Amino acid sequence: MPILSAPSHPLSDDEVSRIRNDFPLLASELNGYPLVYLDSGATSQNPVSVMEAEQEYYEQRNAAVHRGAHTLAVEATEAYEDARATIASFVGAAAEEIVFTSNATEALNFVAYCLSNASLGRGGEAARPYALGPGDSIAVTEMEHHANLVPWQELAARTGASLRYIPVDDDGALLLDCAAEIVDASTKVLAFTHVSNVLGTINPVAELVALARSVGALTVLDACQSVPHLAVDVAELDVDFLAFSGHKMLGPTGIGVLYGKSRHLHALPPFLTGGSMITTVTMESSEYLPPPTRFEAGTQRISQAIALASAANYLTETGMDRIEEWERQLGERLVAGLEAIDGVRVLGPRAGLPRIGLASFHVEGVHPHDVGQFLDSRGIAVRVGHHCAQPLHRRLGITASSRASTYLYNTTDEVDAFLAGVAEVRSFFGVSR
Q: Strand runs (DSSP E) across 56-171, as ranges?
A: 98-101, 137-141, 162-166
Q: CB of 362 within 8 A of CB of 382? A: no
Residues with a catalytic annotation lie at: 388
The rounded Cα 119 to chain-centroid distance in angstroms is 27
- From residue 243, alpha-carbon distances to 6, 102, 140, 148, 255 in Å are 29, 11, 15, 10, 11
Q: Which residues are within 8 A (CB) of 37 and not within 5 positions of it... i.e. 6 or more apart?
A: 25, 26, 45, 381, 409, 410
For the chain, the distance separating the N- and C-terminal CA atoms, rounded to the nearest angstrom, is: 47
In terms of Cα–Cα distance, which of 384, 371, 348, 386 is closest to 431?
Answer: 371
Q: Looking at residue 52, what DSSP letter applies?
A: H
Q: CB of 427 within 8 A of CB of 30? A: no
Distance between CA 373 and CA 200 in Å, rounded? 23
Q: Which residues are within 8 A (CB) of 424 and not within 5 positions of it... i.e. 6 or more apart?
A: 374
243 SS3 class: strand
The rounded Cα 308 to chain-centroid distance in angstroms is 14
Distance between CA 229 and CA 162 in Å, rounded? 33
As beta bridge partners, residue 190 has: 139, 219
- From residue 353, alpha-carbon distances to 26, 40, 114, 219 in Å are 30, 21, 38, 26
